[in-house]
Amino acid sequence: MKGSSNRVNIFFLAILRLALAWIMIPDSTSLTAGSLDTLHWDKLKKGHDLLGHWYFKMGDSLAWASPSYDDSQWNTLIGDSAQEAADSIYKEFYGVAWFRTHIWIDSSVASKMLALSSNIIGACEIYIDGKLVRTIGTLAVDGKTEKSGFTIKATPYPFTLDQEGEHLLAFRISNLSEKEKTYYINFGSNIGVIEFAAEISQLETEIEHLVDFSQESKILILSGIFITLSLFHFVMFLYYRKNRTNLYYSLFTALLFFIFFGAYLIIRGADLQTTQQLALLEICAVFLVPMFFLALLYQVFYKRLLLIYWILLTVLLAAGYFLFFTENEGLGLSLLIGFIITIIVETIRIFIRAFVKKKDGAGIFLLGIFIPPLGTFGLWIIREILGKMGYAVWEKNMDEVLGQFFGYSLLLSVSVSMTIYLARDFARMNKKLQQQLREIKQLFEKTIVQESERKRILENQKSELERKVTLRTAEVMHQKAEIELKNRDIVDNLNYARRIQSAILPEIKLIYETLQDSFILYKPKDIVSGDFYTFSQKENRVIIAAADCTGHGVTGAFMSMIGSSHLNQIINERGITQPAQILNHLNTGIASALKQNETEVNDGMDIALCSFHLDELRLEYAGANRPLWLIRNGELTEIKPDKLPIGGFRINRDAVFTNHELKLQKGDAIYLFTDGFADQFGGTFGKKMLSKRFRELLISLQSIPMSDQEKKLEQFFNEWKNSMEQVDDVLVIGIRV
């Protein structure tokens, strides 16, 4: 990963240097050597690179700043090999190093205000004639607090040399931090940026350079334009989010603002690490700009993002991954080049298609695209014509003027074109809304007229309607009386049926005498119920069952009576006591009674039936779609039934039911139940109770007697149901051994 990090730094800073080439101050000539150079006033008018012998030595001693110190035995950087030697020094040395050079000041320079400009990648102290005059970054011999003092735009240091003659300029540079050293090497010789440069010039000249805000002001103006456009269109998007064109344009101009404002921050000065971090964000923004511009075009001309947009985004992410996080830089560069070419081709295709199909807005965008080249060509023609007429216009800086005009006009023309399109679109939408408001007003006026006419008709028909209503009311009251009479008959019949059904059911008192710690919770949905229970005692066995017939109310009640009658016949008359055999005979009897082999009557029942051997603490169980729950020591065990109903629609009528045998322990709790309790809707959100909540409720009640459990179950059921309608018959049987 360290190698990848170095490549990231090199890539970002190389692109940053190319992108800012037109706004950076001129580079000073790199470290060179020659004879002792004499500086006079005219030579310093535009600045003079420090020439002559440079002496270099590893180590650290403040005595080396003194002009009287003899540096003749130091390493010398001379001639064409000076830069190569300096590069080697920056790559290899670790610690503190000194650079010294001697200059000769003539009488025209003595006592004049001078400026020393230096561009150092590293932490540095600068001495003039043995006196510390400036510190760049944070120099520390232990390496713990060292910080680079690099800036894109060097700030000059003002000074004077009072005496004519030889003077000493010394630089004390540290390279102790491994993190900083990585920055020095990457930002230095790997991409050709000067590690160490020094220049002396007239102070007035440097002040003029510092107060020249032309480039910075251009960048700030562009930044202001783009951030204003971004905020304006983002607010428009917030007010009308259905149209995402404003959102994409807001993000597009926000990225342009960040690119230019980031460049402004770098120009104003930042250390190496901050510069590199800004460069990283700048490069990301540069490659995201065409993605948002493409999204903008898709939204304008297609009203959606096409598949190729997501492919391009994937390619861009893959290129970044291979370039910065793997060793396969070639593949990453190839993907990046393919991404750029595809973006250009796709943009041209969109414009051509929009123009050919006469898409709305195509003319505005094409005009914005063609203004920069046409304007640039027009300026060149004007310059040539004026030149032929003898007027020298832009002779020296024509290329720079045309280049700046093309760049600025391209940026602004695209933005202005988009703003014009969105403004026109907004104006059209307002006109459309106004037209709709006019139509609504007309419809409203028409409705008022129609309403007046309707009232007039109603008033004319009022007396007739009142007469008819009186007659109809009398008729309805007569029908109501008949219906109430019939309902009373039906209810009386149902109440009588309930008494018959109650008479068929076994007496609960007899059950409680035999199974002393038990309960039966029985809550029919209607007057009569489709759920029923049965109880028989044969020899040393106690047989009990909970059944749920098809439907509820009258239909369920008929089935419950048939089922109860057949169970009584099978157990008490035929003497069959094994649960599985009982269910097999019950199934045959129901099918025969309803003639289900001959007709399409599919009524039946689900049942859980068990036989207790009280003297042996043993239980036999068989079930048709209804389980048996055994709770022992707070843990619930489910004995699953056969997935077969009694009667009804069965795929395999020859199948038989399974007999389960369980060994019981004192304190075991047995539960038989139908599905009515768990299927009830209610609670805070009106949802079904479900078996899980029913299971947890039973486990929580194991510390109390069965009679109390019945009360708690009924209370919980009523609270859960609350004001909602009961959805089914409820039957729960609990027995503690």
Average pLDDT value for residue range 492-500:
69
Is 454 within the bounds of a domain?
A: no
pLDDT of res. 712: 95
* Lowest mean pLDDT, pick from 430-439, 473-482, 603-612: 430-439
For residue 624, pLDDT over 80 is answered with: yes
Max avg pLDDT among 279-288, 399-408, 672-681: 672-681
Q: What is the pLDDT of residues 408-443, one digit of tens each?
A: 666 666 666 777 776 676 667 767 777 877 888 888
pTM over 0.85: no
For residue 148, pLDDT over 60 is answered with: yes
Is 342 within the bounds of a domain?
A: yes
> How far is Cα 485 from Cα 270, in angstroms, rounded to an integer?
97
For residue 375, pLDDT over 50 is answered with: yes
> How far is Cα 679 from Cα 721, in angstroms, rounded to an integer?
11
Cβ atoms within 10 Å, residue 672: 25
pLDDT of res. 468: 81
Do 204 and 340 lie in one domain? The reply is no
Do 312 and 179 lie in one domain? The reply is no
More confident position, 733 or 465: 733
For residue 396, pLDDT over 50 is answered with: no
Do 334 and 185 lie in one domain? The reply is no
More confident position, 388 or 344: 344
Tell me how many domains the chain contains: 3
Contact 339, 315 (CB under 8 A): yes
Do 562 and 672 lie in one domain? The reply is yes
Q: What is the pLDDT of residues 67-106, one digit of tens each?
A: 889 888 888 876 545 555 555 665 566 678 888 888 888 8
Domain's final residue, options 146, 175, 210: 210
Do 649 and 533 lie in one domain? The reply is yes
* Lowest mean pLDDT, pick from 151-165, 463-477, 653-667, 686-700: 151-165
Do 586 and 714 lie in one domain? The reply is yes
Average pLDDT value for residue range 624-651:
89
Is 672 within the bounds of a domain?
A: yes
The secondary structure of 41-79 as a DSSP string is TTTTSS-EE--S-EEEEES--GGGGSTTS--TTSEEE-G
Is 446 within the bounds of a domain?
A: no
Residue 4 pLDDT level (bands cut at 50, 70, 90): very low
pLDDT of res. 187: 42
* Lowest mean pLDDT, pick from 127-131, 280-284, 384-388, 432-436: 384-388
Q: Specify the CATH number for the domain of residue 180.
A: 2.60.120.260
Max avg pLDDT among 192-206, 289-303, 483-497, 656-670: 656-670
Is 31 within the bounds of a domain?
A: yes
Max avg pLDDT among 87-91, 112-116, 339-343, 461-465: 339-343
For residue 32, pLDDT over 60 is answered with: no
Mean pLDDT score across all residues of the chain: 77
Tallying the residues shown for the chain, one arrives at 737
Its domain, for residue 346, covers 306-359
* Lowest mean pLDDT, pick from 366-370, 567-571, 700-704: 366-370
Q: What is the pLDDT of residues 192-209, one digit of tens each?
A: 344 566 778 877 676 666
pLDDT of res. 692: 93
Question: Tokens in use for 694?
Answer: 């029913």
Contact 168, 100 (CB under 8 A): yes
% of residues, the chain, pLDDT over 70: 70
pLDDT of res. 15: 47
Domain's final residue, options 171, 190, 210: 210
Do 174 and 312 lie in one domain? The reply is no
Domain's final residue, options 210, 242, 273: 210
For the chain, the first-to-last Cα distance in angstroms comes to 71
Is 457 within the bounds of a domain?
A: no
For residue 49, pLDDT over 70 is answered with: no
For residue 405, pLDDT over 80 is answered with: no
Question: Tokens in use for 91?
Answer: 């790559």
Max avg pLDDT among 351-360, 374-383, 692-701: 692-701
More confident position, 626 or 48: 626
> How far is Cα 129 from Cα 161, in angstroms, rounded to an integer?
9
Q: Specify the CATH number for the domain of residue 682.
A: 3.60.40.10
Do 22 and 140 lie in one domain? The reply is yes
Average pLDDT value for residue range 504-522:
89
For residue 562, pLDDT over 80 is answered with: yes
- Going by C-beta distance under 8 Å and a sequence separation of 6 or more, which residues neighbour residue 726? 523, 525, 676, 680
% of residues, the chain, pLDDT over 90: 20
Is 40 within the bounds of a domain?
A: yes
pLDDT of res. 658: 95
Is 706 within the bounds of a domain?
A: yes
Average pLDDT value for residue range 476-487:
78
Do 33 and 171 lie in one domain? The reply is yes
Do 200 and 342 lie in one domain? The reply is no
